[in-house]
Amino acid sequence: MKNSKKTIFRFFISLLFVFSCSAMRPPIVLKTGESSQQQRLCLQTKPIMPDVPQISRSSSSDTLLVRTAQPAQITAQSSAPIFWVERPLLPIYHQETKIIFSIDGGGSRGIIPLFYTMELMKRLRIPSLGPLVDMFAGTSVGALICAGIALGQEASMFENFHSLVERTFSKSKLSMKGVCKPLYKNSEKLKVIKEFTGERSARELGVDFIVPFFCYNTGEAMYYKSFSPSSEDFKLADLLMMTSSAPTFFNPYFCFSSDLKKYEGGDGGIFANHPGEEAYHLARSRYPFAKLVMISFGTGTCDKSAEFKYYENRGLIFWAERLPHLFIAAATDNTERSLVNLSQKDSNFHYHRIQLPLRSGNMSLDENSPEKLDLLISAAMANIGPTGFAYNPFSSALSALQQKMQG
């Protein structure tokens, strides 16, 4: 009786072992399109251990496949077909992609990023880039362009940019303004801005919108964040007026927030002409698991190198004009380095910087000559070229937007 019980017990153990081994073998799928000779060569050159599963991505579906060798003893000399075993393991997690547009300040040189956005629209064959962008960050004229894209008005803005610049930066040649008073009036700039924004508030854009401005009455560098409950809302025109009120060019702009708090705002370029780094940190906090793609547009960069003799024995008159440009350029370069470093540390952050080297000297931020603005457009067009930039940031940005369109 005891022997029969042992026999039955051993039988069930053996049966359990057989079932467990069978469960580990998935249904066999013969890999088609290969001859027996090719399959034997595959075994010789790419042996797969029977007990070691190999995970790969299927080209025909979004499924992870486990590939294992058949446990049977198959030799290279065998005439039996050699095959892979494929079975679904887990569905791939579709990672959400968030597109961030960051546009620098630069006055009339804002026609450079505006031209690039038009080229992206043209190649994507869409009327506006707005629906593809999840977050906008802009300083000064960059904020105005961001608002125009969000409103779907970038084409109209580009077509009328020459006249907008001429109206904003209009002055008498005999004027002594700029020495004791600002060069230009806020009133004309406000009219230009309201032609695009109307009376809507910044939150009515319906997208994540980040705008730096300097608050003179508190002495603070501030960021407006449309998605933050603690951030007070403004009329969109007022916000754009504050971030574009560059010292010596315009007076600080006075306005009230939605909570009736008074602000005396100045240009965001004072501390963040390139708003990309702040946009990255806010986006990573807001979308912690998303793939972030930042497309950053510059407004032209010049060769800042010079011999020591050029700067030697210079006084207030010489530096008064040049220091602001040097500070802004240095801060922009520093932000650029930080974002490149962040893209190397964060594997889910892709950074594409579209910038135009200005080889013909430093064009003034208040340049209103149509001929010189056309030269900027021609230079930007040549910078794209038939195959794109040297490391292709424009093509990379275009590819990222195409992938976003495809979902």
Residue 362 pLDDT level (bands cut at 50, 70, 90): low
Q: Contact at 8 Å (CB) between 244 and 140?
A: yes
Residue 147: its pLDDT value, please? 97
Residue 257: its pLDDT value, please? 93
Residue 57: its pLDDT value, please? 41
Residue 117: its pLDDT value, please? 96
pLDDT greater than 90 at residue 23: no
pLDDT greater than 50 at residue 55: no
Largest Cα span, the chain: 121
Residue 81: its pLDDT value, please? 44
pLDDT greater than 70 at residue 367: yes
Please state, in angstroms and rounded to a whole number, the distance separating the CA atoms of residues 371 and 284: 42
The percentage of residues in the chain with a pLDDT greater than 90, rounded to a whole number, is 56
Please state, in angstroms and rounded to a whole number, the distance separating the CA atoms of residues 288 and 199: 34
Of 81, 68, 91, the closest CA to residue 32 belongs to 81
User: pLDDT averaged over the chain?
Assistant: 80
Residue 325: its pLDDT value, please? 78
The pLDDT tens digits for 213-250 are 999 999 999 999 999 988 889 999 999 999 999 998 99
Residue 60: its pLDDT value, please? 41
Residue 315 pLDDT level (bands cut at 50, 70, 90): confident
pLDDT greater than 70 at residue 58: no
The pLDDT tens digits for 318-327 are 887 777 778 8
142 compared with 18, residue with greater pLDDT = 142
pTM: 0.75
Residue 385 pLDDT level (bands cut at 50, 70, 90): low
Structure tokens, 340: 């490149």
CA distances from 198 to 17, 150, 254, 288 (A): 76, 14, 18, 34
Please state, in angstroms and rounded to a whole number, the distance separating the CA atoms of residues 360 and 374: 13
